[in-house]
Amino acid sequence: MFDIGWSELLILGALALIVVGPKDLPGMLRTLGQVVTKARRMARDFQRTMEDAADGSDFKDLRDVQKSMTDWNSKIGTGAPRKYAESFLNGDDKAKAKTPEPGSLDAADAAANAQWEAEKAAAEAKAKAAADAAPSPAPAPTTAPSPAVSSPAVPSSAPGAPDAKGSA
């Protein structure tokens, strides 16, 4: 682990014997062994916890996806998705002009684009035919409302105003 040879161990043992002393050396080595054992146990528990977390998560599903993508890449070629993305980003229509090989991403894309363009053209033709068949209605004349002439209202409690009987 640390690549310590016998000569290095002998030197470390001699230094420990001098520094700690012959009486306390066995107790120190026992304590050191217990600390190392606890550290190993903690590392093992941590490793098991991480493995359990990895098993409980979606890593297995991701492995299946990775395998299916590997199979897909082997069928159409490993560079096909990159070439397709580069041609798309460059706006290069040359990739669509060539005849794609069956089962490739380009073939599926070309088929989807052809279907979409056909549906779009059919919808436009249908809308144009409906617009040509229906006569356009003439605009209805619009008249502005005339302002109403109103007379000033006289309150009935005002002096000189006629009351309900007609007398002032």
103: alpha, beta or left? (left if phi > 0; alpha if psi -120 to 50): left
Give the closest residue to 100 by CA, choosing from 84, 121, 88, 115. Answer: 84
Give the separation between CA 113 and CA 108, rounded to whole angstroms. Answer: 9
Indicate whether 84 and 96 sit together in one domain: yes
Residue 100 lies in a domain: yes
Indicate whether 88 and 48 sit together in one domain: no
Indicate whether 65 and 118 sit together in one domain: yes
Chain segment 81-118, per-residue pLDDT in tens: 777 777 778 876 554 555 556 555 666 677 777 777 88
Residue 102 lies in a domain: yes
Indicate whether 82 and 115 sit together in one domain: yes
Range of lowest pLDDT (1-5, 43-47, 81-85, 158-162): 158-162
Residue 30 lies in a domain: yes
Indicate whether 22 and 48 sit together in one domain: yes
Q: Give the residue ranges of DSSP H helices in the chain.
A: 6-20, 25-56, 59-76, 80-90, 94-97, 105-133
Chain segment 130-143, per-residue pLDDT in tens: 777 766 555 555 66
Residue 63 lies in a domain: yes
Final residue before a domain boundary, out of 56, 78, 93: 56
Indicate whether 71 and 40 sit together in one domain: no
Residue 99 lies in a domain: yes
pLDDT band at 158 (very low <50, low <70, confident <90, very high): low
Residue 151 lies in a domain: no
Indicate whether 49 and 63 sit together in one domain: no
Indicate whether 108 and 76 sit together in one domain: yes
- What is the domain count for the chain? 2
Provide the residue range defining the domain that includes 51: 6-56
Indicate whether 63 and 124 sit together in one domain: yes
Residue 152 lies in a domain: no
Please report the pLDDT score of residue 164 as a whole number.
Answer: 54
Indicate whether 73 and 117 sit together in one domain: yes
Residue 110 lies in a domain: yes
pLDDT at 168 over 60: no
Indicate whether 50 and 76 sit together in one domain: no
